[in-house]
Structures are given as structure tokens and as C-alpha cells.
Amino acid sequence: MSIPYGRQDITEADIAAVAEVLRSDFLTQGPALPRFETLAAEKCGARHALAMNSATSALHAACLALGLEEGDWLWTSPITFVASSNCALYCGAKVDFVDIDPRSYNMSVQALEEKLKQAEKAGRLPKIVVPVHFTGQSCDMRAIQALSRTYGFRIIEDASHAVGGSYDNAPVGCGRYSDVTVFSFHPVKIITTGEGGMALTNDDELAARMHLLRSHGITRDPREMDQAPDGSWYYQQIGLGFNYRMTDIQAALGVSQMQRLDGYIARRHEIAARYDALLKDFPVVTPWRDPQARSALHLYVIQVEAAGHKAVFEGLRARGIGVQLHYIPVHTQPHYRRMGFETGDFPEAERFYGRAISLPIYGTLTDAQQDQVIAALAETLSA
């Protein structure tokens, strides 16, 4: 049986939590959802947490809440899943990218600053910047926030990989350095709700906007209506929204999973430390970890020589190791090439893509399975 690069851990407690909802009166829009949101907000030290049916939905709602529209620019990293940039296109806005730092693989602060200086001269500064906490390691948010104050952009942290991580001695999601933080609860992430995501913010107004956006723009609050309610049944659509709600079934799973978050992160750090030691004499580059942050370690990415990259990747898969490649640089995707992006636009991202391999890491990965990964890598590299 192959060892995947990531997988969910579903316990009897998770099953019992979901079964309780299935036997209840509310499969959606019931008490489990606010319970999950309250737990996440408290865990992260954020004022508001809004659960949604995916991180993509949360990114889109955050962009709309911040007023992103046609003619505006959103910048993000090219080393991310396409959702980090697609959320701008959904709003009719334009997208650009900032190359990565070759050590952290996150958005380069130096590249961002240089690009901002050029954009200011050209009159095309971004309205929103989306730093992506790749592999679960926070970007240098203090520096990015300092640039936002100089150049006037808003910040959405794409922390899809980073629930349970920390930066500057505070949880990722606390909102100290951004307007909104987005988590993902896809099954390969650190905790899961099946599909699902969440937007966290300390801004009451942004929270209110996202609350409307996730449920068709509908309110039942008489204070938000343009007339007195016709009766207790009354609601109004006061804006255009979407069906981005998370179900109570998913939320109950999220509450149960959240109880084990700290344990999952601790185990991932044990696995990463063991990889570091076992790979010390291998001809690979192991991931650097920022001392001012504690990565959530969603991924453990090594780099191999570009000339042998494909052979190593396919050799590991042939030996039952379900490695993955995170990510194909977004600007090289056909949809983005048609916007004018070309190979060579973001050389560090492209160099990384030609060398990166994500090894298996998840909370229930055993030492024996990890030894299988190492043995398969040794065989592949010597083949």
C-alpha cells in the first residue's frame, strides 16, 4: 500500500460528533457552526471567525468585503494553489505575482518592496496583497504590514497551510498584521471538515460583510433592513451574496478535530526533525524553518537536482511513496499565460518548481512508514 503525502485522521470521537448532528434537528444553520467558529476564534485570538464551505469561498468573500473590483490589482505568490489568485478574477480584478524567497519559499519581502516602488511610479499599486504561508510557515508579516502602511494595500493572509502555526509569538489567525486570515480544512490539511474553510478578522465591519456574502446577502436583522419587518418570518436580501455556508455536519467534525490540533502540530514537528536528521547526508536540500515562527508543517518539501527531478519523483511513486509537487507556478498555467504571463517572469518560483518534491507528512505517519520513505528515496537517488 502506498504512503500518501498527506491524509486525514478520523477518530471514533469525530464519528460520534458527526452522528450527533445527524440525529439532531439541524444539519445546517444550527448550533454546531457557531460552536466551531467560537472555538477557532478563541484558539487564534481573533475577534471573528466565519466558517465557509471552502477556503476558496473564504478568499472570495474576503476580497469582496475589502472592496476589490474591476480595475483593481491583487498580488500574491506564484507558488500556491490557483485559488489564491483566482479569487481576484472572480471580482473582475487583475492579478500579478511577487517572486518567492529562495530560502523560505514564501513571498519575498525584497521582491515585494521593489515591485511596489515600480508600481507606484506606474500608478498601478495593488489594492490587496495575499501572502501565502507556504507549507505552514508564516510569511514575514511584520515587514509586509510595514509596506502596506507605506503603499496603502490591504492584506489577506492565505493561511490554508498554517492552522496551528504561530508567528512572532502569536497564533497565525490572530490578525495582528493583516485584515483577514483564511484557513483551509480540506482532508489533506492539518485538520479537516471534509471540504471547508474559514475567514478570521478583528474588523467588525469586514466580519459583517462576509457574514452577508456567505449566505446570499440575506439578513434577518431589522436594523439592517430598509423597512420594518412584515412579521417574524421576514428577511431581506440587502446585497448580492453566495451560498458559501458550512453545514453543521462539517462544523461538528471541525470542533472534534480542533481538540487534537496541538497534538497534530507537535507530531508533525517530530516527523520533520526526524526527516532533517535522516536526510542530513542525502544530496537534497531540506526545508529551512524561520526561528521567529513555528510552522504548522502542512508540507515537508525537499529539493533535488533539477536534472534528476522527474526521475526521483517518478521513482518514489513507483516505490509506493505518494509524493506530490507543490506547486506548478500559477503564472505558467494556460489561463494565466493568456493574460500575458510568460516563463521567466518569476525565476525563483520556476527554479523551485523544477526541484521540489513534497514528502509524506501527516499526524498519523509512523516512524516505520517514514523509514520506508527514506529507504525509497535512497534507492531512487542511487538508481
R_g over Cα of the chain: 21
Distances (CA, A) of 207 to 47, 61, 195, 222: 9, 10, 21, 18
The whole-number pLDDT of residue 383 equals: 83
Spell out the residues 6+ positions from residue 178 whose beta carbon is closer than 8 angstroms to its own: 141, 145, 155, 156, 157
pLDDT at 60 over 90: yes
d(C-alpha 251, C-alpha 319), whole Å: 37
d(C-alpha 221, C-alpha 320), whole Å: 55
| Mean pLDDT of the region 290-301 | 96
pLDDT at 271 over 80: yes
CATH class name, domain 3-258: alpha beta
d(C-alpha 278, C-alpha 178), whole Å: 37
The answer to whether the predicted template modeling score (pTM) of the entire model surpasses 0.95 is yes
| Mean pLDDT of the region 101-112 | 98
Full DSSP string of 126-191: -SEEE-B-GGGPPP-HHHHHHHHHHH--EEEEE-TT-TT-EETTEETTS-TT-SEEEEE--TTSSS
pLDDT in tens, 333-346: 999 999 999 999 99
Question: What are the two backbone dihedrals, phi and then psi, of residue 166, each rounded to the nearest 5 degrees?
Answer: -145, 160
Spell out the residues 6+ positions from residue 136 whose beta carbon is closer than 8 angstroms to its own: 161, 162, 164, 165, 190, 295, 296, 297, 298, 299
Question: What are the two backbone dihedrals, phi and then psi, of residue 324, each rounded to the nearest 5 degrees?
Answer: -140, 170
| Mean pLDDT of the region 109-130 | 98
pLDDT in tens, 212-232: 999 999 999 999 999 999 999
Question: Structural domain boundaries of the chain?
Answer: 3-258, 261-382
What is the second-level CATH architecture of the domain 261-382? Alpha-Beta Complex (3.90)
pLDDT in tens, 15-29: 999 999 999 999 999
Per cent of the chain over pLDDT 90 is 99
3-state secondary structure of 41: helix
Question: What are the two backbone dihedrals, phi and then psi, of residue 96, each rounded to the nearest 5 degrees?
Answer: -140, 170
Query: Which residue, 277, 271, 279, 275, is CA-closest to 381?
Result: 279
* Residue 6: exposure state from Cβ atoms within 10 A (0-12, 13-18, ≥19): buried
Cis geometry, peptide bond prior to residue 362 (ω within 30 degrees of 0): no
| Mean pLDDT of the region 313-321 | 98
Per cent of the chain over pLDDT 70 is 100
375, three cell numbers: 529507504
Mean pLDDT of the chain: 97
The DSSP secondary-structure symbol of 243 reads B
Choice between 56 and 292, residue whose per-residue pLDDT is larger: 56
3-state secondary structure of 105: coil
The whole-number pLDDT of residue 1 equals: 58
pLDDT in tens, 179-203: 999 999 999 999 999 999 999 999 9
The size of the chain, in residues, is 383
381, three cell numbers: 537517488
d(C-alpha 313, C-alpha 324), whole Å: 8
